[in-house]
Structure 1
Amino acid sequence: MINIESVKGKIRYFAKENNLSTQEVLQMYFFERFLERLSKSEYKKNFVIKGGLLISSLIGVENRTTMDMDTTVKGIPLEEKLIKAIVEEIINIDIDDGITFEITGMEHISEDDDYDNFRISLIANIGKTKNLMKMDITTGDPITPREVEYRYPCIFTNEDIEVLAYPLETILAEKYESIIKRNISTTRMRDFYDIYSLYTLKEKAIDFETLRTAVIRTATKRNSLEILKDSEEILNDIRDDRYLSNLWDVYINENKYIGDLAFDKTVDVLALFSEKINL
């Protein structure tokens, strides 16, 4: 059995050392514990990890945290009763880590597509500490070229958890499509930070031909391909928008790990993507 007080101490220490809140680190640890259970379940090939949790693991928890977990499912129907039963089965796998999970709710969420998508609310418990978790489960989005076998790094050990995940190019394609489509109406500053960070840290791993294909497939699915063809003009508008610049200042003040990164630098990376994708 894991020593619960020792784990709590590690969480507090990691948070202090990396300029994070204890809550942020606790949340990331609970997500990790869910993934450990998933990896030991018969459904480990049916869930594909994506979103902020995956990005955090790619660039480091000290550089990016998330309060939600995003997954897409494959090979099983996305039906409410079935998905709830599967998640229930996963969280009840005993891995002797002193943590328990409980489903507290499940609701439909809109993803602007023809599929039923769900958000599951859970309570995670470690000792007397309880924490709310949310997990979005979706299906139907194209994964280019395909999901990959990924070794998710644990926070406090040198061990990895083997799961399926989005490839880097699909992560970037979805972020890029979202920013360009929303234009100056976007409020998702984390998308700008994510693309900048992934490009800065993973540039050599990006296959830009695959990225171009991923953008086309994602935009076609989301009916935004024509909009993306105007990316150069849209990015100029974004760069000059004072409101977005102010939003960025608020975002970096709320997330100290970002430092003093200028908004213009994130737009520079988007412009580079636009040039390489060349729609």
Structure 2
Amino acid sequence: MFTSKKGKSFNEVWKLLVLERFLARLSRSEYSDKFIFKGGLLLSYYLTIGRETIDIDLLARRLNAEKSSVELIAQEIYLLNLDDRFQMRFINVDDLDRITLGFKLGLPFNLG
């Protein structure tokens, strides 16, 4: 089985798949040049970082970073249909729970 050969649990592989499906939508959206992909998930593609990555870190550039604007952008990205059988739905945008400025978005989806 893939997960045992790669040393990853099913949940780790599943979360990565969902995150990659979001990145696929972002890359095909009109906002693809407005975000810089950074952080632990990007690093994990090149190095073994010894932790499960459960989020995507993106830096917005040349973009209105007000919460209402981020909500609209997220909705547009989530609604892109890539014929991959993933249906993402927007719930809300929350402020980060730390001192740095930014937002966190949930990534609920249906497969089927």
1:25 aligns with 2:25: no
Could you give the per-residue CA deviations for residues 99-126 of structure 1, whole angstroms, max 9, x where no partner exists?
011122321125535xx41111120222
Tell whether 2:76 aligns with 1:121. Answer: no
Higher relative contact order (CA 8 A, sep 6+): 2
Alpha carbons 1:110, 1:117 under 8 Å: kept: no
The count of corresponding residues between Structure 1 and Structure 2 is: 112
Q: Distance in 1 between matches of 2:82 and 2:91?
A: 21
Question: Does structure 1 retain, via aligned residues, the 8 Å contact 2:41–2:56?
Answer: yes
**TM-score normalised by the chain length of structure 2:** 0.88
Of all paired residues, the percent bearing the same amino acid is 31
Q: Contact 1:100–1:126 (CA<8 Å) still a contact in 2?
A: yes
Give me the whole-angstrom Cα distance separating, in 2, the residues matched to 1:126 and 1:89.
Answer: 19
1:83 to partner: Cα distance? 0.6
Question: How far, CA to CA, are the matches of 1:121 and 1:17 in structure 2?
Answer: 30
Residue 67 of structure 2 corresponds to residue 80 of structure 1: yes
Instruction: Output aligned runs, 1:1-279, within 5 Å.
Output: 13-59=1-47, 65-113=52-100, 116-127=101-112
The amino acid that maps onto 2:105 is: I
Normalised to the residue count of structure 1, the TM-score between the two structures is: 0.37
- Helix, strand or coil for the counterpart of 2:7? coil
Q: Distance in 1 between matches of 2:94 and 2:23?
A: 21
SS at match of 2:63: coil
Counterpart CA distance in 2 for 1:18 and 1:102 is: 30
Distance in 1 between the 2:71 and 2:2 partners? 33
RMSD, aligned CA: 2.0
* Equivalent pair of 2:38/2:58 in contact (CA under 8 Å): yes
- Determine the C-alpha separation between the residues in 1 that align with 2:48 and 2:2: 12
Structure having the higher Rg: 1
Deviation at 1:80, TM superposition (A): 0.7
Structure 2 residues without counterparts, runs of 5 or longer: none
Q: Any conservation in 1 of the 2:88–2:107 contact (CA below 8 Å)?
A: yes
The one-character-per-residue Cα deviations of 1:123-152 (angstroms, maximum 9, x if unpaired) are 02223xxxxxxxxxxxxxxxxxxxxxxxxx
- In the alignment, structure 1 segments of 5+ residues that lack a partner are 1-12, 128-279
Alpha-carbon distance in structure 1 between the residues aligned to 2:9 and 2:19: 16
- Larger proportion of helix: 1
Deviations 1:21-42 (A, max 9, x none): 1111001011111111111111
